[in-house]
Amino acid sequence: MNAHVPAGKRRGGHVVRILTIGAHAFTQLARMKVFHFLALFAVLAIASNFLNLPQHEGPESAGAAVLRSIKSWSLGAMTLFSVVIAVAATALLIPKDIEDRTLYTILAKPVPRIDYLAGRLLGVLLLLFVSLLAMDLLMTAVLQARTAIVLGEQRDMAAALGWPHDAVESLLAETRAAGPGWPLQGAVAAVFVRAAVMASIALLISTFSTSTLFTTVVGLLVYFIGHFQADARDFWLQGGEAGEGAAARLASLALALVLPDFQLFNVIDAVIEGSVVPLATLGRLVLAGGYYVVLFTLASWFIFAEKEI
Amino acid sequence: MAAGLLAAGALRMTWEIPLTHLLRGQELLPPRLDTGTRERIGQTSSAVALGGLRTLVATFLNLRAHTRFTEQRWGELALLFDTITDLAPRTRYYWETGSWHQAYNAASHHLNDSKLPPLRRREAWRSSIRAGRAFLERGIRNNPDDWRLHAALGFLLTDPNKIPALRDADDCFAAAAEAYRRAAEQPDALGYVRRSMLYALARVDGRQDEALALARALHAEGARNHTPTLLCLLLVLESRADPRLDTGRRAIELFGGERRAYDALCNHWRRTRERFPVDGVAAALRSIEARLGIPESESILKSPPPAPFDPDQAFGN
Amino acid sequence: MSEPVPAVEIRHLVKDFRTSFRRRPLRAVDDLSLTIRAGEVYGLIGPNGSGKSTTMKALLGLMAPTSGSCRIFGKDSLKVDSRDEVGFLPENPYFHKHLTGVETLRFYGRLCGLRGRALDDRVVELLDLVGLTDAGGRRLAGYSKGMLQRIGLAQALVQEPRLVILDEPTAGVDPVGSRGIRDLILALRDRGITVFLCSHLLEQVQEVCDHVGILCGGRIVREGRLDDLISIEDQTEIVIRRAGADLVERITALVGESPGASIVRSGRPRTTLERLFLETTTGKEGGA
């Protein structure tokens, strides 16, 4: 055996350990064939392309409707997949480690518990990132191809109808805006941040939950109720003026303080409908998500540090 | 632990609230409204909770709406579009389509195909047109920057088949002119919007001076505005301002030829259903017919123009 | 010369578990004190449920003691740095099946701050040590129980700890594998590594440990050097190869002449079933 090096000196930093545990969790999830759902997404994204939408209006709006449908389907699927994966994968990891006793071997190494938690979370975030990236690329490709087709059709139609130049340009510009572009990437970023927050919440729940099922159900419940956090907050802020009951005000305050504000991420819908999220706003949204993730991870640590395993 | 979570919650409120305001300000989130109004303006509970899935659900409901349309179940169709626009309040297509189903499809159905007795048919016809207008106006309140919605309202309010269901024609044309004016305020509005504003304004009794000024301004902008309707209206408005005007000569001047002037004015003369003013048109036609050698027996003025749409006749009372 | 820091020092350890709301808490470990000096092989034996695993978990900082303290080379078990010097092999470990032996060792090595060349070398060295060089590239899903236990041991040794804690290291392993692990433990002792072993397989403990503690109901009931604990003071054993009947007769007569001495038993010593099993399955004579 080699000459003895004081172990503490070469233990390495938090970052290395977190990355190691994260990569480990990622491979573990990847080999659990989580990525198979991507095939399902591909089918959805391509199928949305051929969905024959009812034609309420003139030919000029048909193209825009199909582009909107592709975006709705793709981002809707991303929303569902990302939230479900975030909750289910996180809920699965720690109980599985306890069951397999891998948790013992990891924590019997000089690994602080916060590193373990952060690493596991990182693994799920990596999984989400890779999945969303793949879905995003697929959506952009489908949208790109379809936009080119629609633009061609609209040019032909406008030529056949003898539209004036400015009307054609206006229509084409509108179609291009409905196609792939940076605003859409902003929406995907929002989907990712929201899923990251959900993963950290699932992490928190799983530190005191007794089963994966419990974590998943409570996690999804928090997701749902989190959408009304802003309303609870407004209710508390305005309750004083309106003279609402004290109990109701306190309840809404508690809700506002504990839950994250998921309504913030509803900008995704605005983007699908054609709005643009300015970069600065997106940055603040990402910061907000980061705050939630750090907050819930720290809270998980407080519980997990005391946990007897 | 619990105290820390609450403290962190209080801390994040300091940026959550401004961020929500920012997003509302940038119209990325719907504005906060009183409980009464919010029911109808895209903030119902289901819509809030479906974050990221709203437009997808709207797409499905739109499919269902199309089925309701083919089955002619108008009441359900209207309710569906209420929900669809709750889910996707910023998609113009749904506002346009919902309004169109009411004001055009449902209205025509009640006018022609319904098996209801005449009086109830008439009431259903009237209310569906009004509902279509109200729906479009709600869409505009949700999307004040969308010039196409304003233009769609203007189009509805100048439709001769719809006006009898609304209030008096002057009100309709004035409202339409206002809708077109607001559409024209948007930087991306197409050029026809201002011409349409003129067409509406010219039909409002008492605002012809305003219309004349607009017509002159548009005319001066160049050939792209020299549509037959605009040229006819310019002539009519000038003649109204100055009854001594030689409208025949002025018409030839405006249209750049006797034949072109004659064809356009004939057309204008027969657009009685649309209630365009015709001051000086008869004189102009007579003068040009004389120049073109059209015998008086074949004059356009001899054949009676079509009568305006009359619901009394349509519903048989 | 001052007394060297003991490898393990457990002082008045008490661990209660809450069971349900109304019942009294269950006391798993009751005022347990234990010292293991560096270089010893210590066996903690006791029936199931006697508190062995709880003691180990408390020592590893996996659970906090109700009262008392645990130290590893002088460092409090509740602190992360106490685990720099310790390797742990839990009972029946299930490592991630999707990883190969090499990947498993690399993972644990990185957790301990190893990287680059040092990590690569260490992995090769460990695979060689536990005799899994050929199986290193295979996924753990295809490992036998004995192989899993050996990769577990390699994992425990990855950062060259001075103390190794083994919880039932041969549970469920066949005698061949079991012997391999026993040999590994002896090899560790020869390298000066302290081994703390928990088992209820007494024979195994007897073969490898030089100190033994017997745990019952959460308390240490006997403790000391193995030889001291099990030698029968007033008896002497002689084993003779190829002793004829007359020789036995003469010895018997000699004993009869000595006052106070008597023959307790004589006959042919039996080989152990384990030894027989090993001889017939491996063809080697399995001597200890």
Q: Which residues contact B90 (CB under 8 A, 6 or more apart)?
A: A270, A273, A274, A275, B27, B142, B143
- Chain A: residue nearest C112 by CA? A11
| β-bridge pairing C41-45 and C75-76 | unpaired
List chains adjacent to chain C, taking adjacency as at least 3 C-beta pairs closer than 8 Å: A
**C21 to chain A, closest Cα gap in Å:** 17
Tell me the two tokens of residue C276.
Answer: 């027989």
pLDDT at A158 over 90: no
Q: What is the pLDDT of residues B147-164, one digit of tens each?
A: 999 999 999 999 988 888
Torsion of CA A288, A289, A295, A300, to 10 degrees: 170
Lowest mean pLDDT among A37-51, B95-109, B153-167, B244-258: A37-51
What is the rounded average pLDDT of the residues B239-262?
Answer: 90
- Using a CB–CB cutoff of 8 Å, tell me whether C261 touches chain A: no
Do residues A176 and A147 touch, judged by C-beta distance below 8 A? yes
CB-nearest to C155 from A1, A27, A105 is: A105
Q: How confident is the model at residue A9 (pLDDT cuts 50, 70, 90)?
A: very low
- Output the pLDDT for position A66: 80
The Cα C100–Cα A215 span in angstroms is 30
> Residue A258: inside a domain, yes or no?
yes
What is the rounded average pLDDT of the residues A47-70?
Answer: 66
Q: Verify whether the Cβ–Cβ distance A31 to C88 is below 8 Å.
A: no
Task: Please state, for a pLDDT cut of 90, what percent of chain B lies above it.
Answer: 33
Q: Verify whether the Cβ–Cβ distance B55 to A80 is below 8 Å.
A: no
- C166: phi then psi, degrees, rounded to nearest 5: -120, 125
What is the rounded average pLDDT of the residues A108-134?
Answer: 93
Q: Verify whether the Cβ–Cβ distance C95 to A11 is below 8 Å.
A: no
Rg of chain A's alpha carbons, rounded to an integer?
Answer: 24
Element (H, E) at C71: strand C67-72
Q: Verify whether the Cβ–Cβ distance B59 to A73 is below 8 Å.
A: yes
pLDDT at B38 over 80: no
The Cα B56–Cα A235 span in angstroms is 30
Domain count, chain A: 1
Chain A residues with beta carbon closer than 8 angstroms to that of B192? 167
- Chain A: residue nearest B6 by CA? A257
List strands edge to edge, sheet with C219-225.
C86-89, C163-167, C194-199, C41-45, C211-216, C219-225
CB-nearest to C107 from A6, A16, A24 is: A24
Angle, vertex CA A34, rays to CA A30 and CA A37, nearest 5: 140
Domain interval for residue A282: 14-306
The answer to whether B and A touch (≥3 CB pairs < 8 Å) is yes
pLDDT averaged over every residue in chain B: 85
Helix (H, G, I), strand (E, B) or coil at A37: helix
Do residues C173 and C181 touch, judged by C-beta distance below 8 A? yes
Q: Verify whether the Cβ–Cβ distance B5 to A257 is below 8 Å.
A: yes
Question: Read out DSSP for B182-230?
Answer: HHHHSTT--THHHHHHHHHHTTSTT-HHHHHHHHHHHHHT-GGG--HHH
> Residue A4: inside a domain, yes or no?
no
Element (H, E) at A208: helix A182-208
> Residue A9: inside a domain, yes or no?
no
**C231 to chain A, closest Cα gap in Å:** 35
CB-nearest to C107 from A20, A31, A101 is: A20
The Cα B235–Cα B232 span in angstroms is 5
* C-alpha distance across the termini of chain B, in Å: 78
Lowest mean pLDDT among A57-71, A260-274, B274-288: A57-71
Q: Verify whether the Cβ–Cβ distance C161 to A12 is below 8 Å.
A: no
Q: Which residues pair with C165 in a beta bridge?
A: C88, C196
Q: How confident is the model at residue B128 (pLDDT cuts 50, 70, 90)?
A: very high
| β-bridge pairing C41-45 and C211-216 | parallel
Question: Mean pLDDT highest for which of A252-261, B38-47, B308-317?
Answer: A252-261
Do residues C212 and C226 touch, judged by C-beta distance below 8 A? yes
Q: Which residues pair with C75 in a beta bridge?
A: C72
The Cα C149–Cα C94 span in angstroms is 9
Q: How confident is the model at residue A7 (pLDDT cuts 50, 70, 90)?
A: very low
The Cα B199–Cα B207 span in angstroms is 12
- Output the pLDDT for position B41: 44
Q: Residue A268, Cα to own-chain centre: how many angstroms? A: 11
> Residue A6: inside a domain, yes or no?
no
Q: Which residues contact A218 (CB under 8 A, 6 or more apart)?
A: A205, A209
Q: How confident is the model at residue B59 (pLDDT cuts 50, 70, 90)?
A: confident
Q: Verify whether the Cβ–Cβ distance A54 to B63 is below 8 Å.
A: yes
Tell me the two tokens of residue B188.
Answer: 């991306």
Do residues B65 and B82 touch, judged by C-beta distance below 8 A? no
**A1 to chain C, closest Cα gap in Å:** 8
Query: 3-class secondary structure for B117-155?
Result: CHHHHHHHHHHHHHHHHHHHHHHHHHCCCCHHHHHHHHH
* C-alpha distance across the termini of chain A, in Å: 33
pLDDT at A228 over 90: no
Do residues B83 and B42 touch, judged by C-beta distance below 8 A? no
Q: Verify whether the Cβ–Cβ distance C160 to A4 is below 8 Å.
A: yes
List chains adjacent to chain A, taking adjacency as at least 3 C-beta pairs closer than 8 Å: B, C
The Cα B74–Cα B125 span in angstroms is 11
Helix (H, G, I), strand (E, B) or coil at C44: strand
**B168 to chain A, closest Cα gap in Å:** 29
Lowest mean pLDDT among A88-92, A111-115, C57-61, C201-205: C201-205
Residue stretches of chain C with pLDDT short of 50: 1, 286-288
- Output the pLDDT for position A263: 85
**A241 to chain B, closest Cα gap in Å:** 14
Helix axes of A279-306 and B2-25: crossing angle, nearest 10 degrees: 170
pLDDT at B3 over 70: yes
| β-bridge pairing C86-89 and C163-167 | parallel
pLDDT at A128 over 50: yes
The residue ranking higher by pLDDT, C54 or A69, is C54
CB-nearest to A57 from B4, B59, B96 is: B96
- Using a CB–CB cutoff of 8 Å, tell me whether C124 touches chain A: no
pLDDT at B137 over 90: yes
**C46 to chain A, closest Cα gap in Å:** 22
- Chain B: residue nearest A57 by CA? B97
Alpha helix ranges (H) inside C226-269: 226-230, 245-257
Chain B residues with beta carbon closer than 8 angstroms to that of A295? 5, 8, 12
Helix (H, G, I), strand (E, B) or coil at C68: strand
Alpha helix ranges (H) inside C50-173: 52-59, 101-111, 116-129, 145-156
> Residue A302: inside a domain, yes or no?
yes
Q: Which residues pair with C224 in a beta bridge?
A: C212
* C-alpha distance across the termini of chain C, in Å: 36
Chain C residues with beta carbon closer than 8 angstroms to that of A111? 80, 83, 111
The Cα C151–Cα C143 span in angstroms is 9
Lowest mean pLDDT among B14-28, B167-181, C188-202, C269-283: C269-283
Element (H, E) at C45: strand C41-45
**B180 to chain A, closest Cα gap in Å:** 17
- Using a CB–CB cutoff of 8 Å, tell me whether C109 touches chain A: no
- B203: phi then psi, degrees, rounded to nearest 5: -95, 0
Provide the total of helices (H) and of strands (E) in chain C, helices listed first. 9, 10
What is the rounded average pLDDT of the residues B108-114?
Answer: 82
- CATH fold of C8-96+156-230 reads Rossmann fold (3.40.50)
The Cα A247–Cα C62 span in angstroms is 41
The answer to whether C and A touch (≥3 CB pairs < 8 Å) is yes
Chain A residues with beta carbon closer than 8 angstroms to that of C91? 101
**A8 to chain B, closest Cα gap in Å:** 30
**In the A/B pair of chains, how many CB contacts fall below 8 A?**
157
- Using a CB–CB cutoff of 8 Å, tell me whether C5 touches chain A: no
CB-nearest to A227 from B17, B51, B224 is: B51
Chain B residues with beta carbon closer than 8 angstroms to that of A204? none
CB-nearest to C90 from A17, A31, A105 is: A105
Q: Verify whether the Cβ–Cβ distance A164 to B224 is below 8 Å.
A: yes
The Cα A60–Cα A68 span in angstroms is 14
Element (H, E) at C10: strand C8-17
Tell me the two tokens of residue C232.
Answer: 């029968």
The Cα C130–Cα A205 span in angstroms is 40
Do residues B107 and B165 touch, judged by C-beta distance below 8 A? yes
Q: Which residues contact C42 (CB under 8 A, 6 or more apart)?
A: C8, C36, C194, C195, C196, C197, C209, C210, C211, C212, C213
Q: What is the pLDDT of residues A181-215, one digit of tens each?
A: 888 999 999 999 999 999 999 999 999 888 889 99
Compute the half-sphere exposure of residue A161: CA atoms within 13 Å on the CB side of its CA.
14
- Using a CB–CB cutoff of 8 Å, tell me whether C196 touches chain A: no
Per-domain boundaries in chain C: 8-96+156-230, 245-282
Chain B residues with beta carbon closer than 8 angstroms to that of A231? 48
The Cα B19–Cα C238 span in angstroms is 90
| Interface with chain B: mutation pick from A41, A51, A72, highest number of B CBs within 10 Å | A72
Q: Verify whether the Cβ–Cβ distance B90 to A265 is below 8 Å.
A: no
Question: Read out DSSP for A86-143?
Answer: HHHHHHHHHHHHHHHTHHHHHHTSS--HHHHHHHHHHHHHHHHHHHHHHHHHHHHHHH
Chain A residues with beta carbon closer than 8 angstroms to that of C96? 24, 28, 100, 102
E strand intervals along chain A: none
Chain C residues with beta carbon closer than 8 angstroms to that of A106? 108, 111
